[in-house]
Amino acid sequence: MGGIETSVIDNGAGRGTRIAWINTGTGLRYKVVIDRAMDIADAFYNQHSLAWLSHLGITAPQPFSDKGIDWIRTFGGGLLVTCGLTHIGGPETDEFGERGLHGQISNIPAEIESIIQPDPVAGKMEMSITGLIRQTHPLGIRLELRRTISATLGKASIRIHDEVINKGNTTAPHMLLYHCNFGWPLVDEGAEIIWEGFWKSRESGESNKIFREGNSFRKCVAPLDDHSGGGEEAAFIDIAPNSSGQCTSGIYNAAIGIALALRFKKEQLPWLTNWLHFGKGEYVIGLEPGTNPPIGQAKARELNQLIYLLPGESRVYDLEIEVLDQETTINEFLNNRISRN
């Protein structure tokens, strides 16, 4: 009916990489890449792919690819790529050190702590996989990410529970971003991008062609010549929560009758980045909850927005991804949005 199956990739650039397939028994199944911070690569709902995968696909971790833009060389895309734990954004160097694009965490293997299988005969429908990912430097910063990915047999949702702990003896800067990448056929021309809140374009001047007042940037357009190669745009969103403090964003594609809801807590992840890369053959929407926009550690420090974890201090983050295919639940998802700002 479903459960968790572990294996090892035996071919190509990902050879030797540990993975875990999680099957919810609802048509939702997805691949956790244990050796890449327990990020999620492929994800399917019945016959439809949900995630965008780069031409690289899964590659083995490269823990020392943390300089400049080396991160992009191992960016396989996928439903979830974790960025951080001390820096999110472009490469930078200052008096506090050198930091590469989006940090180190996604290139660090996890130490599996537990795998719990469902047992429907005994009435146990829950399943989970928990691992520890350690981002450490001898005589320096020592952060630990304890990640649990869980699901319920018979429910089309993914739950991610993260705890980031400062295991070192000095105060550590902390930034975290969940780089969620959605692709075809969920993302296609005409699909609707769902989020609400005050926003600001990352680009300015002539580079800002999409995220402009009056432009219909909430609908996916046909592939753009301007996005061939490295063309892209992004918006930083101070996302609006509901009365319970929950934020919701996602994708709705009426053509295939599927909506995907991405939910998180405002107090944990106050920012959302909407990344667009509408390239031919590389068509992707990124919806990226984070502690900050991906502005980098230096800018966050300058704005007094950088989080610091004291020795022994921890922070908890919860994220849920749910697939909806019933008219009533899709309408509820669409109608319960906060008024646009």
Rg of the chain in Å (alpha carbons): 19
203, two tokens: 């680009």
Give the pLDDT mean for 173-197. Answer: 97
Task: Output the six-digit token pair for 99.
Answer: 């930091």
Mean pLDDT of 212-238: 91
| Residue 112, pLDDT above cutoff 50 | yes
pLDDT at site 341: 39
In the predicted structure, residue 14 carries a pLDDT above the cut 90 = yes
List, edge to edge, every strand of the sheet that includes 314-324: 111-116, 126-136, 142-152, 157-166, 314-324, 258-265, 246-253, 192-194
pTM of the model: 0.96
pLDDT of residue 204: 83
pLDDT of res. 337: 67
CA within 13 Å, CB half, 237: 24
In whole angstroms, how far apart are CA 141 and each of 71, 168, 184, 307, 311?
20, 6, 39, 14, 10
Beta bridge partners, 264, equal 247, 319
Kindly state the tokens that stand for 267: 């107090």
Stretch (H or E) spanning 331? helix 327-335
Model confidence at 58: pLDDT above 60: yes
| Arithmetic mean of pLDDT over the chain | 95
Q: Contact 333/325 with Cβ under 8 angstroms?
A: no
197/316 Cα distance (integer angstroms): 23
Q: Tens digit of pLDDT for each residue in 133-184?
A: 999 988 889 999 999 999 999 999 999 999 999 999 999 999 999 999 999 9
Instruction: Read off the pLDDT of each residue in 50-72 and give the average, rounded to a whole number.
Output: 91
Statement: residue 338 has pLDDT above 60: no
Residue 271 CA to residue 171 CA, distance in Å, equals 23
The whole-number average pLDDT for the span 20-39 is 98
Is it the case that residue 336 has pLDDT exceeding 90?
no
Per-residue pLDDT band for 216 (boundaries 50, 70, 90) equals: confident
Q: Once rounded to an integer, what is the mean pLDDT over residues 213-234?
A: 90
pLDDT of the residue at 125: 98
pLDDT of residue 139: 86
Which pLDDT score, from 0 to 100, does residue 214 have? Answer: 79
Contacts of 295 (CB under 8 A, 6+ apart): 88, 89, 236, 303
Q: What is the pLDDT of residue 340?
A: 43
What's the pLDDT score for residue 213?
83
Q: Using the predicted structure, report yes or no on whether residue 236 has a pLDDT greater than 90.
A: yes
Task: Say what the pLDDT of residue 212 is.
Answer: 86
Instruction: Give, as one character, the DSSP assignment of residue 260.
Output: E
Q: Residues for the chain: how many in total?
A: 341
Q: How far apart are CA 318 and CA 248, in angstroms?
A: 13
Residue 66: its pLDDT value, please? 80
Contact 287, 186 (CB under 8 A): no
Which element (helix H / strand E) includes 177? strand 172-182
- How confident is residue 205, by pLDDT bands cut at 50, 70 and 90? confident
Return the pLDDT at 70.
92
DSSP 86-136: S--SS-EEETTEEE-TT-SGGGS--EEEEEE--BGGGTB-EEEEEEEEEEE
As a whole-number percent, the residues of the chain with pLDDT over 90 amount to: 89
Reduce the DSSP state of residue 206 to 3 states and report it: helix
Look at residue 172 and give its three-state secondary structure: strand
Q: What is the mean pLDDT of residues 36-60?
A: 96
Half-sphere exposure of residue 279: CA atoms within 13 angstroms, side-chain side: 15
State phi, psi for 231 to the nearest 5 degrees.
-65, 140
| pLDDT tens-digit map of 70-108 | 999 999 999 999 999 999 999 999 999 999 999 999 999
Backbone angles phi, psi at 236, to 5 degrees: -100, 125
Q: Identify the residue whose tokens are 């926003």.
A: 199
